[in-house]
A = this chain, B = another copy of it.
C-alpha cells in the first residue's frame, strides 16, 4: 500500500470541477483551499474558464505544468472515469472523489465505483471517497482544506474519520465551538479504497496525533479493525461512535450505505476487546475527546468532587456512581487539611462542598490537597457563580491549583453561558469544561475504563498441546460420509468435543430394563433414569425421572416404576424406553458456545446455562481469538456470575475448567473453518479442581452456501 502522504500532506492540488459560482461544491472547495492558506499550489481545472476565483485555470489535469500530488474531483459521476484516465496520464499521486452517485445508489453505481477503483489501483494511486465531504489537514505546515465545509477548526492533536459527510460537517463545527484542536479530518464516504482502518494505522504512527476519533456506520473489515485498533489503542486512545446500534438503526444504516447490518454483540465485543472507547453520541465523543486531548488517563476510577454548592455535587456523584466510577474515600490527612482550610459549615467529606462563600483562594488551595491524596485518581471541580464571586478568577485559580497535576481534572461551571471568558481561559489552560456535572462524570468514566483496559495487560493465547484437530476432522468427515449435513449427529459431536479435550456425560437410550442395567454399569453408579418418549416432553410431571439410582435392582425398579406411573396416568404406549446417564453430581449449569459470523469471524459465547441464556439473555461474547484474560473476564461479566461462587449455598464452580473450556472452543473455531455453530448447554462446572462436563451439545457445520448461516441462526 502506498503511503497516505499524497492525500494528507500534498504539495500540489488540482481541483477538477473547480467552479466560479460560489455556493456550488466545486467553488467552495477551491475557495477553502485558497482561503485557509494551503502552503502548496492549487490548480483549478475547468473546461473553458481562463481563471477560477482569480487563479489561472487549465482545461485538463494533463495540461498542468506541475506534478500534482492530489486531484480533488467534483465533476458529475458520469465524467469521473474520464477524469481518472487524465489523472493516470498526468501521474497524479492520489485522488479525492467528492462526487456522489456511486455504490450508495445501487448496482449501477457500484459497478461504476468498481471500475474507477480498478483503474486507480492499477496506477498505484490512493483514493478517498467517492461520496464524501473531503480532507482537511490543519497542520500549519500544510493547511489543506479540501472540504466544502464552512468551518476551519483550530490546529491540535485530534484526528477524525467520518463515514458520513453530514456528520462530518457537524463535527468540524462542534470542534471549533469547543476549541478542540484538529490535526487531520477525513470524510471517507464510500471508502472504496482508503478505509477507517487505513487511517487508524496511519494516525497511530503519526506523533502529531494524540487522539483518534471515529464516526462509524459499518465495518469494512472487522478483523483488520480488531488487529489495528488493538495495537494503536496501546499507544493512543481511539474514541468511536458506531451508528446503527439498534435493529431499526442498522436497517437505516444499511439502506444508507449499502453496508451489512451491524451484528451488535459482535460490534460491542470487537470495540471492547480492541480497547476502543465507545460513546453513544457525537456529543459524548467530544466530551471524551476534551479529556484525552490534554489530560492524563486516570490510574483508577476513584473520583474526588470539589464544589461550592450541594446540588451540583449530588448530580455529579449520581452520574459517577451510575457509570462505574466510585467516590474516593479521602484520607484523614486530606480531610484534616481541608477542615483547616474551609469554614465550619463546609463538608470535607467527598463530595467536598466548600459552600457558596468559597472564592478563588479556596479552589486554588483545596484542589492540590485532593490531587495529592493517594486514594484519588481524578478530580471533578464544580462551580456555580454566586453573587460577588468572579468566575474568571475561579477559573484562573483552578488552573494554578491544578498546574502540573498527573491526575485528570475536569471542570463544570454551571449557568456559565454568560461568562464565556472564564471557559476560554480554562480551555487555554487545557482543562476541559462542561455545561453540566453529569457530562463531566460520564466522560471521565469512559476514559477511566480505557485506563483499566491499558492496565489489564494483553493476556496470552494458550498452546493447548493436547487438542487433536485431525481426530475432529476425521469425525466430521465420517459423519458427512454417512450423509450428515448441518447439525451433526450426537456421537460425532461427542467425538469432536473429545478431540478438543471437552468431556461429555454419557447418555444411553435403553429400550429394556436389561439394556438399562448394562448401560448403568457402564456409566458407573449412581445414575439417573429418565423416561425416553417421543411424545412426552415434561418427564417430571409424569413421574418419569428417578435420580440417584445406586444399583442394578434400583435401575429395574425405576424402569418398572416409570412404566407403571405412565400406565396409571393413561400414557401407556408412549414410553420408548429410558435414558441412562451418570449422576453428574452438584455443579453449576453454564453455557459455552460459538458462532461463525460472515464479517466478524467466530464469536465465542459464555453464559449461565439452561433456559437462562434465552430468558435472561445472560450471555457475553468475544471475538476470536480469545486470550486467557478474555476468557477469565467473560466469567466475571455475566449478570448471573454470583451463581459461579456458591450462590445461596449452591455449588461453587471450577472457574479454571470453564476458562479452559472457552479457550478450547475458541481453538476449535480457529482450527475448523467448517464449524458454523456450537452450543454446549449445559456445561456443568463441578467443584474447583473437579472440572467441567458437557451434558448436552449441538454442533452445526456450514453448508456450501452457508458462510452467512451462523448470522441468521443465532437469534438469541
Contacts and interface: CB of A to CB of B under 8 A. Distances in A.
A154 to B, nearest CB: 15
Interface string A522-547: 00001000000000011011111111
Interface string A207-244: 00000000101000000000000000000000000011
A23 B386 CA distance: 9
Contact of A387 (B148, B311, B438, B537): B148
A413 B259 CA distance: 26
B256 A166 contact: no
B252 A163 contact: no
A218 to B, nearest CB: 10
Nearest to A551: B568
A554 B569 CA distance: 13
Interface stretch (A122-130, A167-175, A268-276, A474-482): A167-175
Contacts of A541: 547-548, 583, 585-586
A344 to B, nearest CB: 9
B313 A388 contact: no
Contacts of A540: 547-548
A253 interface: yes
Given A311-B163, A643-B615, A170 B321 contact: no
Given A164-B309, A541-B585, A252 B314 contact: yes
A414 B311 contact: no
Nearest to A253: B314
A418 B568 contact: no
Interface in A295-342: 308-315, 317-322, 326-327
Q: How many copies does the complex hold?
A: 2
Contacts of A246: 317-318, 321-322
Nearest to A256: B310
Contact of A252 (B243, B310, B585, B647): B310
B356 A166 contact: yes
Interface stretch (A62-70, A280-288, A424-432, A599-607): A280-288
A50 interface: no
Contact of A327 (B248, B345, B615): B248
A642 interface: yes
Interface stretch (A2-10, A40-48, A347-355): A347-355
B256 A313 contact: yes
Contacts of A345: 101, 105
Contacts of A549: 543
A243 B307 CA distance: 16
A377 interface: no
A356 B100 CA distance: 10
Specify which of A256, A308, A353, A546 lies most central, judged by the most chain B CB atoms within 10 Å of its CB.
A256
A52 B105 CA distance: 73
Interface in A604-632: 611, 614-616, 618
Interface string A103-132: 001000000000000000000000000000
Contacts of A439: 283
Contacts of A172: 415
Contacts of A385: 169
Contacts of A538: 586, 649
A177 interface: yes
Contacts of A321: 246-249
A245 B387 contact: no
A415 B170 contact: yes
B417 A177 contact: yes
A557 B166 CA distance: 78
A345 B435 CA distance: 40
Interface string A674-697: 000000000000000000000000
A537 B311 contact: no
A349 B541 CA distance: 51
Given A318-B243, A356-B166, A545 B547 contact: yes
A169 B244 CA distance: 38
A414 B310 contact: no
A322 B246 CA distance: 7
A512 interface: no
Given A244-B314, A322-B246, A611-B648, A384 B351 contact: no
A654 interface: no
Contact of A414 (B169, B217, B611): B169
B318 A169 contact: no
A147 to B, nearest CB: 10
Contacts of A253: 310, 314
Contact of A166 (B174, B215, B309): B309
Given A170-B414, A245-B318, A28 B310 contact: no
A503 interface: no
Contacts of A319: 281
A177 B166 CA distance: 26
Interface in A431-479: 435-436, 438-439
A569 B385 CA distance: 75
Contacts of A100: 356
B252 A317 contact: yes
Specify which of A151, A162, A313, A356 lies most central, judged by the most chain B CB atoms within 10 Å of its CB.
A313
A281 B416 CA distance: 17
Given A151-B415, A166-B312, A282-B315, 10 more contacts: A164-B310, A167-B315, A169-B386, A173-B418, A177-B417, A246-B318, A256-B313, A256-B314, A544-B548, A616-B616
14 contacts: A100-B356, A166-B312, A167-B311, A169-B385, A217-B310, A248-B320, A248-B326, A249-B318, A257-B310, A538-B586, A540-B548, A542-B548, A544-B548, A614-B648
Closest 5 CB pairs of A and B: A164-B311, A543-B548, A166-B309, A256-B310, A249-B318
